[in-house]
Structure 1
Amino acid sequence: MFDISLSLPVHVQNGGLFISRGLGRHPQRVLNSWELIFVETGTLTLKEEDTVFSVNAGESLLLWPHRKHVGVGNFPQDLKFYWLHFELRHLPDQAADDCLSLLSFPQHGKVRDPQYVISLFRQFLNEQEAITHSIALELILLLIMQQLSVAVSDATPADNSGIALAYKARQLIRTQYHLKISTSTLARQLHCNADYLGRVYRRAFHQTITDAIHRQRVLQAEKMLLTDACSLSEIAQRCGFQDVGYLRKIFRNAVGLTPAAWKKRYCKEHINSD
């Protein structure tokens, strides 16, 4: 048997998924632990001490221990966010400095790849179901933190026409994923060369346009699997897939499970609505 001992700079307490019912607000409290929040949909408005944060979809917020925080206004109807409580450990050797460098990210920021962060939180919640505490929880948290460390500004760089074009293409993908879109159709809408658009998109977001379209469609399919009583045929049609077989193929390639197996697994998520 191979045994290995790891010392990590974080210790996870617990985490969960909040889905709003349009009632109530975040309570006022002071925690002894750090709290990491990532909003999937809607806007969460919180006040920490004298600072108000409006955390939109695709953004994260880190709440500090021993600081008072409270919700501002009632929860919006469409609000859905992940939360995770953790502690920092003080490691005695140089390895601690190397590990803690991973924790350098803005208190409030927008991530480059929200869908990947969502998948990490879902993996965390699934791992949390285990009876015994697993080091996998800390490893997943560090992966989440690494994603937050490359947070980006909401503003599109105005001095780079190629990057601006990539951002426009991404917005079209997010709003037209249910249609028959491709690099060529997006290029026609943006009045540019398809090869050029593909290059600047990959440079900006480290993925191809085809992969981005698939990922957006899979994300929407995941939402429908959890929230709608639709058949796979309806989901395929509404998410832009050619047919159920193609939906299953792309979905499995993206998440490693069939739609049915994915739905069965994530019905175990820790969900609170109050």
Structure 2
Amino acid sequence: MKSGSLLFESNYKKLGMHAFDETGLSSANAENFRSYIKVLLVPKGYCLSIDFNQYHTEQYTLFFVNSNQYLHITTGTAENARMIYYNRDFYCIQLHDAELACDGLLFNNIFEIPKVALSEAGLQNTLNIFSTIQEELISKDYSSEEMIRIHLKQLIIQATRAWRKQNLEGSTLPVPAEEDLFRNFSRLVEIHFRSKHSVSEYADLLGIAPKSLATRLKKLKLENPNEVIKARIVLEAKRLMMYTGSSIKEISYQLGYDDPGYFNRIFHQKAGCTPAAFKKSLKQHQSPEEQDYSGLSPIFQA
């Protein structure tokens, strides 16, 4: 597929495919893609930022970006990258989660790992899926919508299996049983981080003791759940500072803190700087894409 876009649209449902190389990065970074869920197939030699983490591709890699996440492709090569983008009306990961188990793994995972490196066989399968979806977008047959959805589901299933193999097989716990805890905690934090800030609240929702939650996450090589919760709150604060005109005090209230001073201390602990300093750093650059966030906090480094 040469650089450019294809789009399916029907009754609020949208799915498109956009191809780009190093000469078309501005098109891929355009604001009109921000509200979509995105799956990117990126060749070797690209650099991109997702939620203030920087990734340099050393092989073909799939990236999974939710609609509320910050994405910017910084550098590319002459080889095309491809992006499938779609809205929740077309395909909702939460509604299909019971089938696919991708929410909390590919999307919204507390490891902050939104990528899958592709083997030679995995790349060939992925290229075939992208090509088939492209053909359906071009043909616009009456059955194209369902065919596209089937192949998107296939892509997500294959990527979920690869993500598990790359990120969970080294844990000291039985993967099937503990994966549910991992995924459920990820989803609960994503849903409730604005109103629930304590480990005990999430442990209650999961039906286990707070100490047990901490122990089991530690065996998965994760931080203490209290730090995971704080990290998600600080990440949202950074997004709000980038995308909205809200003051730090307003952001503090939006995230469930009546005491802005306490919120400032949490932000400084996780980000390594105050909210005011982070906000100032955004304004010092012509565009937020030029900002290097890698030194702000270890938890946001790739």
Q: What is the TM-score when the length of structure 2 is the normalising length?
A: 0.46
Which of structures 1 and 2 has the larger relative contact order (alpha carbons within 8 angstroms, sep 6+)?
A: 1
Structure number with higher helix proportion: 2
Structure number with higher strand proportion: 1
